[in-house]
Amino acid sequence: MPLVIIALLAVAAVLVMWFINIYNGIVTKDNRCDNAWQTIDAQLQRRNDLIPNLVETVKGYAAHESGTFEAVTRARSAVMSATSPEEKMEASNVLSGTLKSLFAVAESYPELKANTNFQQLQTDLTDTENRIVYARQSFNDCVLEYNNAIETFPGNIVAGSKFKMRQGFEVTDAAARQSPQVKF
C-alpha cells in the first residue's frame, strides 16, 4: 500500500513539474513578444525624433509644400499618441506613407538633395526604417511562437483563458502586395 502512495505522489509531482514547465515556457514567449514590441517602440521613437529636423530642413527649400508637411506632422502625432500596439502599427504605416511623400518633394529640389544636413537626416531615417522592418520581423516571429504555444496541445490547456492571442504586423496597403511591373 505505501508503495502505491509513493508512486501516485511521484506521478503527481511529475505532472506538476510538467505543468509548471509549460506555463513558464508560455510566460517566457509572452515576455519575448513584449520585449520585441519594446524594440519596435524604441525605433519608432527614434524615427519620431528625426522627423521634425527633416521636415524643418525640407521646409527651408520647399515652403509651399505645406500640405505634405502637415500630413507628416499629423501622422507623427498619431504615432506618438497611439496607446495600443495595434494603433501604433496602423499609425506607423500611415507615417511611412507620408514620409515617402516628403522624400518625393525633396526630389524636386536638387539643392536640397545636395544639402549635407538633409543627406545625413535621410540616411539616419532610412537606417531607422530598416531597423523598424527588422524589429517588426522579430516581433512577428515572437508572436508566431507565442501563438503556437498557446494554441497547440498541451499548451492550450495550460494557457486556458489567461493568455490571449497576439496580433503581428500585417501589410495594410493592398498596393504593397502587388508585384511591381518592370518595363524596358
DSSP 97-154: HHHHHHHHHHHT-HHHHT-HHHHHHHHHHHHHHHHHHHHHHHHHHHHHHHHHHHHSTT
14-165 belongs to which homologous superfamily? LemA-like domain (1.20.1440.20)
Query: pLDDT tens for residues 29-88?
Result: 999 999 999 999 999 999 999 999 998 888 888 877 888 888 999 999 999 999 988 898
**Cβ-contact 141, 166 below 8 angstroms:** no
The confidence band for 178, taking pLDDT boundaries of 50, 70 and 90, is low
pLDDT for 184 beyond 60? no
Q: Does residue 145 carry a pLDDT above 70? A: yes
Per-residue pLDDT, 68: 87
Average pLDDT over residues 119-139: 93
Report the C-alpha gap between 61 and 110 in whole angstroms. 10
pLDDT at 179 over 60: no
pTM, two decimals, is 0.82
Burial of 95 (0-12, 13-18, 19+ CB in 10 A): buried
Q: What is the pLDDT of residue 27?
A: 97
Of the candidates 101, 98, 95, the residue with the CA atom closest to the CA atom of residue 80: 95
Which of 27, 40, 46, 137 has its CA nearest to residue 87? 40
What value does the mean pLDDT of the chain take?
A: 89
At 180 the pLDDT is: 54
pLDDT on residue 148: 97
d(CA 74, CA 133): 22
Grid coordinates representing 44 are: 519608432
